Amino acid sequence: MCALNFLITIRVWLKRDSGQYWPSIYHTMSSPCSAMAYHHDSRRIFVGQDNGAIMEFHISEDFNKMNFVKTYPAHQNRVSAITFCLTSEWVISTGHDKCVSWMCTRSGSMLGRHYFTSWASCLQYDHETRYAFVGDYSGQITLLKLEQNTCSVITTLKGHEGSITSLWWDPVQRLLFSGASDHSIIMWDIGGRKGRTLLLQGHHDKVQAICYIQLTRQLVSCSADGGIAVWNMDISREEAPQWLESDSCQKCEQPFFWNIKQMWDTKTLGLRQHHCRKCGQAVCGKCSTKRSSYPIMGFEFQVRVCDSCFESIKDEDRTSLATFHEGKHNISHMSMDISRGLMVTCGSDRIVKIWDMTPVVGCSLATGFSSR
């Protein structure tokens, strides 16, 4: 089990006979560590730093020795995300110099760079197609096709109202999940029904990390306030409607405050515009006095709905489709060992926690698992 110390060291923690984890080895870094990728089969660790460099290490089979391999001059500023592709021997990374870079691990040389208008904050990579998904601080996700020395932009995905903080790519169902500082998660159907999106709202702070468990069709998400949510994605969910625009309430037809002509003609004051989260219609406050959760559309909290939609929502429609748990520390990073049902969270409190998630994510993951 590997973890980052966010000061100046990288450490390997091993579980002792006492059941406690203790550091086995460590390496002192010249610059604070900001990102890490660990390749289990080859026991290679790639550590991104605040100075833009990526350092590669190889861990011995007994996890008691760490050998430095090489340094990659990947970025001019803080490294935000790293992934390693063994088949092509590429290390791909994003950074606060507003670029994604891919380098050859055999030669250590730079293969290519692509620049964005905002800091590149997170990264996912499809090894088969060489597609890279890059989230940035503007709230946009860019899909790139990486080649040996060049790349092409396939499309951009826009749906978040805040910076992209986390991405997860499921190559089996070809689904992309994104978490953002707007406290929401969006599922993008990249493979089948292109353009289809599902919105999930169940966090009170920015979503810091996500992991989709394809076997049980569950999504695990963690937020900065320590909230942990496990979403049931093995059901037919409804896509949230696009918000409609109108100069007057689409229920009572009273003008909104910018509709000067209708206000003059009817001798009435304009009203503030709102939107029903269930039907998407533009409505005034008097026609949307109710609040309701609607989990099948991803709204685990109570949201504004128009009065007619409120009447159409049955009690069983309000049954939660997610479970919520308290991490009890500010979660800045999360990683899951899906085969054993273990989750690791790191917090700004410098504490690393290891969670047994098998009671939450299903017993099918617990084959050969011994309780921690």
The 10s digit of each residue's pLDDT in 100-136 is: 999 999 999 999 999 999 999 999 999 999 999 999 9
Lowest mean pLDDT among 36-40, 94-98, 349-353: 349-353
Measured distance between the N- and C-terminal CA atoms of the chain, rounded to whole angstroms: 13
pLDDT at 361: 82
pLDDT at 335: 93
pLDDT at 245: 87
Token pair, residue 208, equals 């810091």
Name the pLDDT band for 7 (thresholds 50, 70, 90). Answer: low
Q: What is the number of alpha carbons within 13 Å of residue 343 lying toward its C-beta?
A: 25
Q: Indicate whether 366 pLDDT > 60.
A: no
Q: Please provide the average confidence, as pLDDT, over all residues in the chain.
A: 89
Candidates 232, 253, 310, 242; CA nearest to 275 is 242
Q: What is the pLDDT of residues 80-101, one digit of tens each?
A: 999 999 999 999 999 999 999 9
pLDDT at 2: 53
Say if CB 160 and CB 186 are below 8 A apart: yes
Q: Indicate whether 55 pLDDT > 50.
A: yes
Name the pLDDT band for 34 (thresholds 50, 70, 90). Answer: very high
Q: What is the pLDDT of residues 192-248, one digit of tens each?
A: 655 568 999 999 999 999 999 998 999 999 999 999 999 999 988 998 888 998 988
pLDDT at 367: 41
pLDDT at 192: 67
Q: Indicate whether 46 pLDDT > 60.
A: yes
Highest-scoring range by mean pLDDT, 1-10, 20-29, 41-50:
41-50
Say if CB 15 and CB 3 are below 8 A apart: no
Interval 37-49 mean pLDDT: 95
Token pair, residue 311, equals 């009447």
Name the pLDDT band for 180 (thresholds 50, 70, 90). Answer: very high
The pTM (predicted TM-score) of the whole model is 0.88
pLDDT at 324: 94
Instruction: Specify the DSSP element, H or E, that contains 48.
Output: strand 44-49
Candidates 109, 106, 56; CA nearest to 79 is 56
Interval 165-191 mean pLDDT: 95
Percent share of the chain, pLDDT over 90:
69
Adjacency order of strands within the sheet including 110-115:
79-85, 90-95, 99-104, 110-115
C-alpha 97: how far from chain center: 21
Q: Kindly report the CA angle at 221 between 342 and 174, in degrees rounded to 5?
A: 95
Lowest mean pLDDT among 9-13, 227-231, 368-372: 368-372
pLDDT at 194: 57
Adjacency order of strands within the sheet including 54-59:
33-39, 44-49, 54-59, 66-72
Lowest mean pLDDT among 193-202, 285-294, 346-355: 193-202
Q: What is the number of alpha carbons within 13 Å of residue 359 lying toward its C-beta?
A: 6
Interval 316-345 mean pLDDT: 91
Q: How far apart are CA 54 and CA 16, in angstroms?
A: 30
pLDDT at 193: 56
Token pair, residue 65, equals 């020795």
Say if CB 282 and CB 273 are below 8 A apart: yes
Longest dimension (CA), the chain: 82
